[in-house]
């Protein structure tokens, strides 16, 4: 069973930008977000994916992801996904043998910036870079599926 073990953090400052690789534009939407799972469509640069993720709260969730044609993704995003869509730029930072993903949100979620890191186990020790702030892994407001219905601009 594919599992995602991921921790999510807010950022203290913009010092992370000095280490970041060039960003990739993301647009994503949700076909369904239920108490059991979310089904997401994402265009990530020049590629597109359908993703199914368990709705479990916390750092460990089931996750399945499959490539789909970008043209299909565009049709699904505009025709079937809940609105508004999630728009963000993702930056990667490789530090202490980990790959940090920094998401800078746009649109209705402008002003929100979060860092995520995928881990091998829930017990894996994470050396926290100086720019890392409060952990929000257990706060459902920061899940992308929640940001569709409750955008950051309304908090």
Q: Which of 30, 91, 142, 143 is catalytic?
A: 30
Give the H or E element holding residue 23.
none
30 flagged as catalytic: yes
3-state secondary structure 58-106: CCEEEEEEEECCHHHHHHHHHHCCCCCCEEEEEEEEEECCEEEEEEEEC
3-state secondary structure 109-148: HCCCEEEEEECCCCCCCCCCCCCEEEECCCCHHHCHHHHH
Q: Any idea which residues carry the catalytic annotation?
A: 30
């Amino acid at each position: 069973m594919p599992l995602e073990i991921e921790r999510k953090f807010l950022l203290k400052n913009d010092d992370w930008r000095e280490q970041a690789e060039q960003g990739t534009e993301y647009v994503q939407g949700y076909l369904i977000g239920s108490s059991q799972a979310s089904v997401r469509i994402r265009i990530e640069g020049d590629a597109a994916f359908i993703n199914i993720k368990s709705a479990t709260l916390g750092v460990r969730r089931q996750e399945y992801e499959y490539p789909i044609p970008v043209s299909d993704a565009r049709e699904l995003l505009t025709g079937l996904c809940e609105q508004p869509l999630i728009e963000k730029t993702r930056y990667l930072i490789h530090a202490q043998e980990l790959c940090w993903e920094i998401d800078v949100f746009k649109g209705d979620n402008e002003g929100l910036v979060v860092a995520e890191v995928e881990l091998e186990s829930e017990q894996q020790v994470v050396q926290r870079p100086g720019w890392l702030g409060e952990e929000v892994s257990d706060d459902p407001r920061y899940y992308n599926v929640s940001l569709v219905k409750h955008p950051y601009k309304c908090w």
